[in-house]
């Protein structure tokens, strides 16, 4: 408004001072312009409409979002925009549209599709509208919609329960039954021993007692059965910075989540007790079995985030020592190997053996993929060099007695990995 | 920061409009220059400079050379959007002598200068001089709008708006501005014509009549202006401090 008003004022004052009719008349032009421009207001009476308040999708899947806008009043430029959370990537359309609101009513839509790269609940904030008066003489008016949209992104999971490959049930690495003295006896015969107070009368082996002359010696023999032991699996998932590998839309962390959830479901379906520890994140779920446990693990993974490195694997295992000791579980560590993290991993493995004994099985799943595919020969060569740098780490880990499985998600489906490598060969 | 503030240098996202604006400003500068050459001031300057040149042995009109040089300067300046305003100010400066001719109060004469304002007048009809002045005022208003729209458009493109959307919106906006400016010009011209018809004196009206007309029009327009400010300017519905949307983990 300054320019218009100052030119009006200068011309008018000069015109009056010099008694100059021409200047006075010219001064009326900016004044008339201002009056006429202000006869119209900035675009207003705006109504925004958005679809569902909650949308559910999976990782790397696209969903459509949109906002309808109706502007009934004013004249000028209208800017309609949405702000996407960091983790949602715009795939098609635009989250910022610019429209001209003339004399008539303006009805427009803003449609776009987004891809979700990280699980969890993401909030797409309310749509915003900026109304600019066509002359620029009036302040910009800001309006926003009345509700947010929640985009719930579910982790992609591999349900190993529906794998029909017979090798899976026969040869997949399973935890050893732990020794239990208090659980109920199973039907597996263990031995014949002398009766002790508290033994069930039904277990007295009369034939053996008579044959050995026990009746004469007042000694009864009883059949003893194996006690039902628990088969326990501990999943240790790395949530440190090493998992945020490469510039890929989907990094190693997402694949690790997928693997963890797939393994947890698989072992739970095989009547194992599954515990989860997310090291560097510090959150855990103690071993248990059943659907409730599956649900707890799913929720924990859904809410998980990568964290700065603050808790080593060794420290995490030590922290869980009380729950691990005496159970002889199967440990599965899901991580991304690198030369720097090898020492930490070895310390963790040592701690596992220290607490649970030398017989415990340890599997290390190395999530090897996730980076952008190499485009040039130089990049491919760099990739190879990186892989070669890992060789000493891998052989060192093998020497420690653990089993190493390398999973390159870009080249291999998780089901394939389980049915081939996990069920037989280790790489 | 307001999108109109123009802290960043605006980019050229609509070259046809830019060319059109440049042509308009150039045309305006040329018209002002032509009007200036019809004034007494130009005549006096030309005489003095030509006499000086003759003494140096140069036998051509220095005024004509000056006009050519000025045209070149104006053309070069018009290549930059920033200097377009300077070109308009130059046009205003060229127009001032013709406008001052219509003054009833002559400060130069009062202060005892040898040449008074009556020597500055243009030989062209009064209405042409008026239209020249009106075109300069309109040009200034339009250039301001253009600059604002350009800054806004640039800011929108930088924020990720589609170029097509921005071009359509900004062109429509400039069209609306231009229409308002033209209507304002037509209204003022009609008022002027009516005054001329009523008083038969035009821009050389007597002081009492001029004062009466000035006061009446100024009061009328000032009142409507204030009323429009009251009704047209509305406070923003929010202060612009929108909440940031973000991730929420259940």
Domain membership of residue B180 (yes or no) is: no
Nearest CA in chain B to A141: B236
Strand partners, A236: A277, A333
Rounded distance between C-alpha atoms, residue B199 and residue B179, angstroms: 30
CB contact under 8 A, B99 and A33: no
Rounded distance between C-alpha atoms, residue A52 and residue A66, angstroms: 10
Are A11 and A92 within one domain? no
Between A232 and B61, whose confidence is greater?
A232
A-chain residues near B147 (CB < 8 A): none
Tally of domains in chain A: 4
pLDDT class of B94 with cuts at 50, 70, 90:
confident
Rounded distance between C-alpha atoms, residue A341 and residue B167, angstroms: 54
Rounded distance between C-alpha atoms, residue A136 and residue A2, angstroms: 11
B-chain residues near A138 (CB < 8 A): 232-234
Per-residue tokens: A309: 């490195």
Per-residue tokens: A148: 């947010």
Rounded distance between C-alpha atoms, residue A234 and residue A364, angstroms: 12
B-chain residues near A150 (CB < 8 A): 248
What is the structure's pLDDT at A71?
Answer: 93
CB contact under 8 A, A125 and B103: no
CATH code of the domain covering residue A78: 2.60.40.10
Domain membership of residue A427 (yes or no) is: no
Are A309 and A365 within one domain? yes
Q: Which of A112, A139, A154 is the last residue of a domain?
A: A154
Domain membership of residue B50 (yes or no) is: yes
CA distances (Å), origin A237, targets A30, A118, A282, A356: 70, 17, 10, 19
Domain membership of residue B118 (yes or no) is: yes
Domain membership of residue B237 (yes or no) is: no
What is the structure's pLDDT at B236?
Answer: 40
Are A352 and A371 within one domain? yes
Q: What is the pLDDT along chain A (427 residues), one digit of tens a residue?
A: 566 667 777 777 787 777 788 888 888 888 888 888 888 889 989 999 887 778 888 777 888 888 999 999 999 999 999 988 877 888 888 899 999 999 889 999 999 998 877 777 788 888 999 999 998 888 889 988 888 888 888 766 666 666 666 655 555 666 665 555 556 666 777 788 888 888 888 889 999 999 888 778 888 899 987 666 678 899 999 888 877 764 444 577 888 888 888 888 888 887 788 999 998 888 899 988 888 888 899 888 877 777 777 788 889 998 888 888 877 888 999 988 877 777 788 888 888 888 887 777 888 888 875 455 555 677 777 777 777 777 887 787 777 778 888 887 777 777 777 766 555 544 4
Domain extent, residue B73, equals 15-167
CB contact under 8 A, A23 and B99: yes
Quote the minimal CA–CA distance from A154 to chain B in Å. Answer: 12
Interface mutation vs chain A, best among B141, B187, B222, most A CBs within 10 Å = B141
Domain membership of residue A305 (yes or no) is: yes
Interface mutation vs chain B, best among A12, A22, A101, most B CBs within 10 Å = A22
> Nearest Cβ partner of B145 from A22, A125, A135?
A135
Rounded distance between C-alpha atoms, residue A111 and residue A146, angstroms: 18
CA distances (Å), origin B230, targets A4, A138, A143: 17, 11, 21
What is the structure's pLDDT at A107?
Answer: 92
Quote the minimal CA–CA distance from B75 to chain A in Å. Answer: 24
Tally of domains in chain B: 1
Average pLDDT, chain B: 76
Are A132 and A218 within one domain? no
Instruction: Give CA angle at A47 (A41, A53), nearest 5°.
Output: 150
Strand partners, A95: none
Nearest CA in chain B to A33: B184
What is the structure's pLDDT at A178?
Answer: 53
Nearest CA in chain A to B203: A21
Interface mutation vs chain A, best among B39, B102, B136, B178, most A CBs within 10 Å = B102
For chain A, state the CA radius of gyration. Answer: 35
Are A219 and A295 within one domain? no
Are A48 and A22 within one domain? no
Rounded distance between C-alpha atoms, residue A363 and residue A267, angstroms: 14
DSSP letter string, A269-313 = HTT-EEEEEEETTTEEEEEE-SHHHHHHHHHHHHT-----S-S-H
Domain membership of residue A341 (yes or no) is: yes
pLDDT class of B238 with cuts at 50, 70, 90:
very low
Are A149 and A166 within one domain? no
Rounded distance between C-alpha atoms, residue B165 and residue A81, angstroms: 13
What is the structure's pLDDT at B250?
Answer: 30
B-chain residues near A40 (CB < 8 A): 232
What is the structure's pLDDT at B171?
Answer: 93
Domain membership of residue A379 (yes or no) is: yes
> Which among A133, A62, A69, A136 has a CA at the least distance from the CA of A96?
A69
Rounded distance between C-alpha atoms, residue A420 and residue A306, angstroms: 30
Are A8 and A88 within one domain? no
What is the structure's pLDDT at B207?
Answer: 59
Domain extent, residue A355, equals 160-178+230-422
How many beta-carbon contacts under 8 Å exist across A and B?
234
Domain membership of residue B250 (yes or no) is: no
Burial A287-325 (b: 16+ CB within 10 A, else e): bebeeebbebbbebbbebebbeeebbbbbbbbbbeebbe
Instruction: Give CA angle at A326 (A324, A329), nearest 5°.
Output: 55
Are A270 and A283 within one domain? yes
pLDDT tens-digit series, residues B105-119: 777 777 766 666 666
Are A217 and A254 within one domain? no
Rounded distance between C-alpha atoms, residue B144 and residue A372, angstroms: 48
What is the structure's pLDDT at A425?
Answer: 47
């Amino acid at each position: 408004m300054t320019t218009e008003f100052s030119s009006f004022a200068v011309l008018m004052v000069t015109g009056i001072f010099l008694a100059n009719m021409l200047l006075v008349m010219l001064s009326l032009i900016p004044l008339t312009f201002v009056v006429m421009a202000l006869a119209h207001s900035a675009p207003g009476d705006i109504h925004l409409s958005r679809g569902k308040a909650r949308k559910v999708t999976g990782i790397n899947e696209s969903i459509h979002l949109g906002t309808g806008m109706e502007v009934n009043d004013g004249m000028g430029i209208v800017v309609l925009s949405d702000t996407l959370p960091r983790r949602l990537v715009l795939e098609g359309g635009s989250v910022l549209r610019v429209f001209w609101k003339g004399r008539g009513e303006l009805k427009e839509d803003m449609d776009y599709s987004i891809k979700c790269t990280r699980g969890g609940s993401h909030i797409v904030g309310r749509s915003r509208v900026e109304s600019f008066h066509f002359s620029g003489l009036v302040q910009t008016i800001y309006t926003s919609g009345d509700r947010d949209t929640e985009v719930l992104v579910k982790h992609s999971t591999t349900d190993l329960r529906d794998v029909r490959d017979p090798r899976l049930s026969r040869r997949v690495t399973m935890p050893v039954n732990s020794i239990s003295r208090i659980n109920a006896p199973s039907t597996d015969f263990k031995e014949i021993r002398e009766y002790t107070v508290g033994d069930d009368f039904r277990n007295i082996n009369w034939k053996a007692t008579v044959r050995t002359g026990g009746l004469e010696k007042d000694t009864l023999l009883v059949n003893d059965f194996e006690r039902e032991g628990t088969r326990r699996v501990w999943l240790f998932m790395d949530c440190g910075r090493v998992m945020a590998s490469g510039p890929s839309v989907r990094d190693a962390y997402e694949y690790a989540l997928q693997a963890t959830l797939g393994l947890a479901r698989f072992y739970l379906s095989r009547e194992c007790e599954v515990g989860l520890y997310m090291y560097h994140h510090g959150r855990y779920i103690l071993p248990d079995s059943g659907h409730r446990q599956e649900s707890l693990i799913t929720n924990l993974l859904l809410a998980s985030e990568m964290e700065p490195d603050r808790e080593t694997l060794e420290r995490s295992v030590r922290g869980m020592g009380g729950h691990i000791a005496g159970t002889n579980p199967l440990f599965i560590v899901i991580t991304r190997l690198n030369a720097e993290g090898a020492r930490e991993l070895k310390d963790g493995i040592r701690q596992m053996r220290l607490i649970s004994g030398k017989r415990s099985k340890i599997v290390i799943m190395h999530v090897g993929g996730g980076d952008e595919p190499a485009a040039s020969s130089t990049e491919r060569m760099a990739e190879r060099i990186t892989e070669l740098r890992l060789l000493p780490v891998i052989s060192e880990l093998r020497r420690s007695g653990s089993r190493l499985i390398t999973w390159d998600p870009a080249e291999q489906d998780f089901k394939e990995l389980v049915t081939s490598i996990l069920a037989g060969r280790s790489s | 920061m307001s999108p109109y503030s123009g802290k960043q240098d605006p980019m050229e996202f609509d070259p046809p409009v830019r060319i059109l604006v440049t042509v308009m400003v150039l045309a305006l500068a040329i018209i002002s220059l032509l009007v200036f050459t019809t004034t007494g001031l130009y005549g006096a300057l030309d005489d003095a400079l030509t006499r000086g040149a003759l003494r140096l042995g140069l036998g051509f009109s220095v005024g004509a050379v000056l006009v050519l040089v000025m045209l070149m300067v104006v053309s070069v300046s018009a290549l930059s959007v920033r200097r377009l305003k300077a070109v308009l100010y130059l046009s205003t400066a060229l127009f001032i002598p013709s406008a001052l001719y219509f003054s009833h109060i002559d400060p130069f004469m009062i202060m005892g200068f040898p040449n008074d304002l009556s020597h500055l007048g243009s030989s062209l009809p009064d209405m042409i001089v008026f239209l020249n002045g009106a075109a300069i005022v309109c040009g200034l208003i339009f250039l301001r709008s253009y600059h604002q729209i350009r800054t806004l458009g640039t800011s929108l493109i930088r924020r990720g708006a589609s170029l097509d959307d921005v071009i359509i919106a900004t062109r429509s906006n400039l069209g609306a501005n231009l229409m308002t400016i033209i209507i304002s010009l037509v209204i003022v011209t009609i008022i002027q014509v009516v005054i001329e018809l009523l008083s038969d004196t035009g821009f050389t009206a007597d002081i009492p009549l001029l004062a009466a007309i000035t006061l009446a029009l100024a009061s009328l327009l000032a009142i409507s202006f204030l009323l429009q400010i009251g009704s047209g300017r509305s406070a923003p519905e929010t202060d612009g401090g929108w909440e940031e949307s973000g991730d929420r983990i259940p």
